[in-house]
Structure 1
């Protein structure tokens, strides 16, 4: 069973002073985007409505994969917006409260990219901030959507963007013969990066393949600095979640801290009828020394 009975794709779960807020991808309603829900315990969830004030129509009509962090006395939401599945670029919005409303800052963080999505902010142990995201790369043996990172110099400005991980396996194929940018590609996809830091080690979870079907998977890699090199475990140990008797297309996750101080992974998966993507919560077992990661049991009381 999912953690919440309402669909919530791309769940980004944030711990706050009085509980947890899950933000996700959903339709614009009454001039607002980004559906959200609150839980006092990661078990019972209640919707709090859409929390991002939508931009003018020229920016786009599709708002994807928000993540929120607290910095400099405010709450900052990073997300992409585009027209349908085209032209997405990453933007930032600010709020005085994690429940919103979040207001756009009139800045595009990735103006030079063809397509950029799935922005995830991360504060390193030295106090610096980085933004991890996915972007389209055409000149590569596996063209498609790759992972990148850039320093967040301020909450609304970035430094130089670095390529950090490219598709490396056939399971990351999104579609063969996909028409994009007026050319035909065997398109590969890595997306949804999310980084946690443990004792100087950066552990990144991410998803690959096509989000539309059962081939979608969640995997991980590790590094000692954002710029890498990023190491991918061998022999299939890179995959954390894949379709099985319980999940269809599990992916696009975030990591939060649970009530007992444990690491918790939040991700979406399709319902059996493929009508929506629902949030699931599981314990995440991290060993920064090995390093290793694996998905554990459901939280007590959750699906």
Structure 2
């Protein structure tokens, strides 16, 4: 097993990486070009979070031209992949769900558009609470100015009635509200022009009775992309901003090393004693967003990490 690692832990494009821990193994899914077999989303397998074996691609596309940000939930012996697809029926990105009998796939689309009333929806994050209830966090666009919120993409949450059906009662989790959340100035959208801001890529952790919804803000291809969070007493919120301020509190660019770290997921070390953040970042050549890992710790109720790291680090415990 590995004693140490250096980021990135996988040498090829693996954006928006999500890691599922199942039966002592890790399965990673990410955004990347469609494979030679016509399937979407590369899937990798590892025993230690450091050395990854490619298993091909996971999703049999139901049509469409572009596929983003897969996340997988396991329930009652089945595996449910939540993702967005563009170009089905002429639509922009819409959230869908696919089902498999194995975490490596193949995943077959269930024929369901999860948020049919929205013209654009991405970045689904399924979350199971302690009582077994399921929630789906996802992103939609906001054009209204409210309080100090900016126009752009934000995160909402809805209850899941089952693994393919939402309650249809979304609540706001986080909208862009900081200068560093800028995606693009003077962006033509919805028949108008906006200074567009973005928070996306929800990932929820329960810690000492509080629900931390981590998000990535800014422009995914630029140095301002980074990770921060909001906090609530319940999965449906209301979510509040941390008292430490509005910076990218968890992770931000290390100039000349790793650029634009973000769109993360969380998992535990092989022995279960540590929490690890899995994220993508650009290297200085900007050749592709590659999968990285770093340890997450808590100090006085605050999540902290030394990442993004680019030097040798101790491997996850038990690996």
Equivalents in 2 of 1:184, 1:101: separation in Å?
41
Equivalents in 1 of 2:246, 2:194: separation in Å?
26
Does the Cα contact within 8 Å between 1:28 and 1:61 map onto a contact in 2?
no
| Structure of higher RCO (CA pairs closer than 8 Å, 6+ residues apart) | 2
Task: Show structure 1 runs of 5+ residues with no match.
Answer: none
What SS does the corresponding residue of 2:92 show, helix, strand or coil? strand
Equivalent residue for 1:181, pick from 182, 190, 197: 190
1:144 corresponding residue in structure 2: 152
1:128 corresponding residue in structure 2: 133
Equivalents in 1 of 2:298, 2:247: separation in Å?
14
2:101 corresponding residue in structure 1: 96
1:155 corresponding residue in structure 2: 163
1:257 corresponding residue in structure 2: 268
2:82 corresponding residue in structure 1: 78
1:37 corresponding residue in structure 2: 44
What SS does the corresponding residue of 1:266 show, helix, strand or coil? strand
Does the Cα contact within 8 Å between 1:232 and 1:238 map onto a contact in 2?
no
1:22 corresponding residue in structure 2: 28
Runs of 4+ in structure 1 deviating by more than 2 angstroms, as ranges, are 234-238, 296-302
Task: Identify the range of structure 1 (160-169 vs 171-180) with the bigger mean alpha-carbon deviation.
Answer: 160-169
Q: CA RMSD in A?
A: 1.8
Does the Cα contact within 8 Å between 2:8 and 2:291 map onto a contact in 1?
yes
- How far 1:238 moved relative to its partner? 5.1
Does the Cα contact within 8 Å between 2:174 and 2:230 map onto a contact in 1?
no
User: What are the superposed Cα offsets for residues 68-113 of structure 1, whole Å, 9 maximum, x if unpaired?
Assistant: 01112211110111149x7111100111110111110000001011
User: What are the superposed Cα offsets for residues 18-43 of structure 1, whole Å, 9 maximum, x if unpaired?
Assistant: 31011000122222101111111111
Number of residues of Structure 1 aligned to a counterpart in Structure 2: 296
Equivalents in 2 of 1:91, 1:239: separation in Å?
31
- How far 1:198 moved relative to its partner? 2.8
Does the Cα contact within 8 Å between 2:82 and 2:95 map onto a contact in 1?
yes
1:218 and 2:223 aligned = no
What SS does the corresponding residue of 1:94 show, helix, strand or coil? strand
1:228 corresponding residue in structure 2: 237
Does the Cα contact within 8 Å between 1:134 and 1:145 map onto a contact in 2?
yes
User: What are the superposed Cα offsets for residues 223-250 of structure 1, whole Å, 9 maximum, x if unpaired?
Assistant: 1112212122233565211111431011
User: What are the superposed Cα offsets for residues 151-195 of structure 1, whole Å, 9 maximum, x if unpaired?
Assistant: 111000001111121111111011110001121001010000011
- How far 1:144 moved relative to its partner? 0.6
1:67 and 2:71 aligned = yes
Judging by fraction of residues, say which structure has more strand.
1
Equivalents in 1 of 2:301, 2:96: separation in Å?
33
What SS does the corresponding residue of 2:155 show, helix, strand or coil? strand
Equivalent residue for 2:199, pick from 190, 193, 208: 190
Equivalents in 2 of 1:127, 1:237: separation in Å?
33
Normalised TM-score (structure 2): 0.88
Does the Cα contact within 8 Å between 1:12 and 1:22 map onto a contact in 2?
yes
- How far 1:137 moved relative to its partner? 1.0
Does the Cα contact within 8 Å between 2:178 and 2:246 map onto a contact in 1?
no
Equivalents in 1 of 2:130, 2:170: separation in Å?
20
2:4 corresponding residue in structure 1: none
Does the Cα contact within 8 Å between 1:125 and 1:200 map onto a contact in 2?
no
1:270 corresponding residue in structure 2: 282
Equivalents in 1 of 2:103, 2:77: separation in Å?
11
Does the Cα contact within 8 Å between 1:149 and 1:162 map onto a contact in 2?
yes
Normalised TM-score (structure 1): 0.93
What SS does the corresponding residue of 1:14 show, helix, strand or coil? strand
Equivalents in 1 of 2:258, 2:248: separation in Å?
18
